[in-house]
Structure 1
Amino acid sequence: MTTEALRRSGNDMTAGILCGVGAGALWGLVFLAPALVSSFNPLQLTVGRYLAYGLIALALIMPRWRTLAPRIGRRDWLMLGGLALTGNTLYYILLSTAVQTGGIAMTSLVIGFLPVAVTIIGSRDQGAVPLRRLYPSLFFCIAGAVCIGWQALAAPADLPLTTRLIGFGSAVGALISWTGFAVVNARALKRLDGVTSQDWNLLTGVVTGAQSLVLAPFAFLMVRTVQPSAEWVKFLAVSMAVAVFASIVGNGLWNRMSRLLPLTMVGQMILFETLFALIYGFVWEARWPTTMEALAFVLVVLGVVTCIRVHRGKGAEAGAPV
């Protein structure tokens, strides 16, 4: 690898990391949204968010539709449908259920294992950093995730055991759903030609919006609970804010990062979502982090830094003379 290629690779890595941090900061909002509008059920929250996402995505992609449509084949549309379901619709239903029944901390603990799952799968890709070199990073990730939710699991619970089990099961389901999305989406983005990261994001948004349209009657027409006008205004505002910041901008940053970084590193970047979710949770609860939560921050940062050093070292080795 030439010096110029090494420099370009380093710039791509820096840009990818910054995109990952930005995506995490915006995605952390999705953990707070169910707490802000807790009077609405998870299906309503999902439909509201993704209807808004779909409408905005459709409006943004229409000017490019004639140019873009011929580049999207049947296989791509089927993949978009699966990605929209696993990474958006199903994931957010499960995540919202977990937050409302188990709390932000417990949900963050389970979702915090995403980097481990994605990194292990990504280590099998051709040219990936061997898994054994990622052991220190994975150790810090796991330790940080355990610390994040330790208090939620160890402290006396106010909710019944059945409710907490539903929350935990939903969080595990969200973990599995989004792990599949992260892996397939990253590989799809590296395969696609002539389709930008943001175009792929908007296409995913259009398909997700179509799925939400199908679910809308079940979410709103079959629910007998009547909400005050003020709650509906708050619901619409939160849905629109999450759609714009988390789905349009956050997903766009994530897709850009997925093209710049190897899958083993993409997994580590998910940790920033957990960190920002906790920060927003502390602000919402108007408190400082506890000792265990502060320790989790340190461990998570160490996990990401260790992973970055391994990947930079791999790039340096590739450029060394033989």
Structure 2
Amino acid sequence: MIIGIISGLTTCALWGLTFVAARAVAPFSPIDLAVSRYGLFGLVSLLLMLHPSFRPVELSLRRWSVGLALGGLGYVGYFVSAAFAVGLSGPAIPPLVTGLMPVILPLIAHLNEKAVAWRRLASPLLLIASGIAVVNLGTFADVSSGDRTKVLLGVGLSFAALAVWVVCGLANSAIMRNDENAPDSLAWTGVQGIGALIGSILLLPFTSLSTQTAFTAPQVETFILWSFLMGFAGSWLATVLWVIAARRLPLSLAAQLIVAETIFGLGYGFLFEARWPTLTEAAGAGLQIAGVCLAIAVFTSSTRNRMGGTNIGALDQVQSSSELSVSTSSKTSTGA
């Protein structure tokens, strides 16, 4: 379980770069970065498939379809929505709207998994929801009335990104937690990479290539650097780590870890703008962190209790078998 938690948190640190990457490559557009990032993700996946260990040879046609959709619609759709949302509403609101996922997804997942009692799950979810509400309300209150239409459009795109993430999270977890027929982590990442490559190709007509925009050498160098960072670390490596987390953790816990993406996203945004968070931003982030820590404690305790119960049951069975053996031996030796 510890490996799953570490993998999930590292993934969130890499995914959090999404909320600053599109601004860092300006004047290149978010679509330019999406095409280069996911094109590189797909090319890395294809090159790795030259080695047999990375080939998805046993996947059914249905699994291929789901994997390609997760890569194309999920990754590309999410990134484009989130990137444009940041451009419209600033660095704080989009990561906090998508931060609703740790509240929504556990509620959906818990209907099937029942990993812990509802009363134990309520406290961390309440802290996370409170943190999101505090920061969103505080940020929106500081926006001038003239910019609120643009901000609302950014909020709408943020909710679109959230919807994509919820659907993709449910689909990916359902496949990776299928104990009998779960695909190999590296092979499954490769399939999603190919889907992302297809999605990036479809976006080519909407890039700056069609406008013949002139860029300076430093701007091109920055764009290439961020493309490699987001393509390899933010996409391929993050997907491998998240697949590992999805395999090892209940979806109820894995989804709550995603709030760390919100925290990292906010932190990167503040660093990019070279400012400290406001009081409401700091208070909301603190509530969210407390909620995640409590969720980890709740699920870790539940897992240990189940393992302890299993071990006690096994010891009881061994003890009963030993007593039966001794009793049988005694009866045999006395001629009973």
On whether the aligned pair clears a TM of 0.5, the verdict is yes
Counterpart for residue 164 of structure 2: 177
Deviation at 1:247, TM superposition (A): 0.7
Distance 1:34 1:181 in 2: 22
2:252 to 261, 264, 279: 264
Q: Is the 8 A contact 1:120 1:131 kept in 2?
A: no
Q: Which moved more, 1:188-197 or 1:37-46?
A: 188-197
Alpha-carbon contact 1:86-1:180 (below 8 Å) kept: no
| C-alpha distance in 1 between matches for 2:73 and 2:125 | 24
Indicate which of 84, 107, 117 corresponds to 2:94: 107
One-letter amino acid of the counterpart of residue 148, structure 2: L
| Aligned match of 1:38 | 26
* CA deviation profile, 1:254-310 (whole Å, cap 9, x unmatched): 111111100100111101111111111222122223322222232112211221222
Could you tell me how far 1:48 is from its partner in structure 2? 1.6
Q: Distance in 2 between matches of 1:157 and 1:57?
A: 45
Moved more, 187-196 or 264-273: 187-196
Percent of aligned pairs sharing the same letter: 30
Aligned residue type for 2:160: G
Q: Give structure 1 stretches of 5+ with no counterpart.
A: 1-12
State which drifts further: 76-85 or 282-291: 282-291
Please say if residues 86 and 178 of structure 1, whose CA atoms lie closer than 8 Å, have aligned partners that are also in contact.
Answer: no
Native 8 Å contact 2:56 2:187 kept in 1 = no
Counterpart Cα distance in 2 of 1:215 and 1:130 = 45
Are 1:110 and 1:172, in contact at CA under 8 Å, matched by a contact in 2?
yes
Asked if residue 216 in structure 1 is aligned to residue 234 in structure 2, the reply is no
Contiguous gaps of at least 5 residues in structure 2: 314-336
**Separation in 2, partners of 1:201, 1:38:** 29
Give the counterpart of 1:147 among 131, 134, 137.
Answer: 134
2:16 corresponds in structure 1 to: 28
Give 1:113 shift.
0.4
Letter in 2 for 1:123: H
CA contact (8 A) 1:98 1:167 kept: yes
Contact map agreement 1:112 1:145 (CA 8 A) in 2? yes
Give the one of 78, 95, 117 matched to 1:91. 78
Determine the C-alpha separation between the residues in 1 that align with 2:281 and 2:240: 29
The within-5 A match list for 1:131-142 is 131-142=118-129
2:64 corresponds to: 77
1:186 alignment counterpart: 173
Structure 2: how far apart are the matches of 1:299 and 1:75? 41
Farther-moved stretch of structure 1 (167-176 vs 312-321): 312-321
CA distance in 2, matches of 1:81, 1:238: 24
- Given that residues 4 and 244 in structure 2 are in contact (C-alpha distance below 8 angstroms), is that contact kept between their aligned partners in structure 1? yes
* 8 Å CA contact 2:37, 2:230 repeated in 1: yes
**Aligned Cα root-mean-square deviation (Å):** 2.1
Residue of structure 2 in register with 1:4 after alignment: none
Kindly report which structure 2 residues correspond to 1:44-63, keeping only aligned pairs within 5 A, or say none.
44-63=32-51
| Residue 3 (structure 1) aligns with | none
| Alpha-carbon separation, structure 2, partners of 1:101 and 1:61 | 39
Q: Deviations over 1:143-178 (max 9, x none)?
A: 111233343211033863332122111001000011
- How far is 1:194 from its partner? 6.7
In structure 2, do the counterparts of structure 1 residues 219 and 127 end up closer, same or farther at CA, with 3 Å as the change threshold? same
TM-score where L is the length of structure 2: 0.85
CA contact (8 A) 1:118 1:267 kept: yes
Deviations 1:97-129 (A, max 9, x none): 101111110112201101011111110224433
Verify: 1:68 aligned to 2:44, yes or no.
Answer: no
AA aligned to 1:14 is I
Q: Residue 231 of structure 1: CA displacement? A: 2.3
Match for residue 8 of structure 1? none
Aligned residue-pair number: 309
Work out whether 1:308 is the aligned partner of 2:325. Answer: no
Displacement after TM superposition at 1:227 (Å): 3.1
Q: Deviations over 1:213-271 (max 9, x none)?
A: 23213324433543334323322221111111111111211111111100100111101
Residue aligning to 2:221: 233
Q: Which stretch of structure 1 is more off in the superposition, 96-105 or 55-64?
A: 55-64
Q: Which residue type is aligned with residue 300 of structure 1?
A: Q
The answer to whether the 8 A contact 2:11-2:241 is kept is yes
- Please give the TM-score of this superposition, normalised by the length of structure 1: 0.88
Moved more, 285-294 or 217-226: 217-226
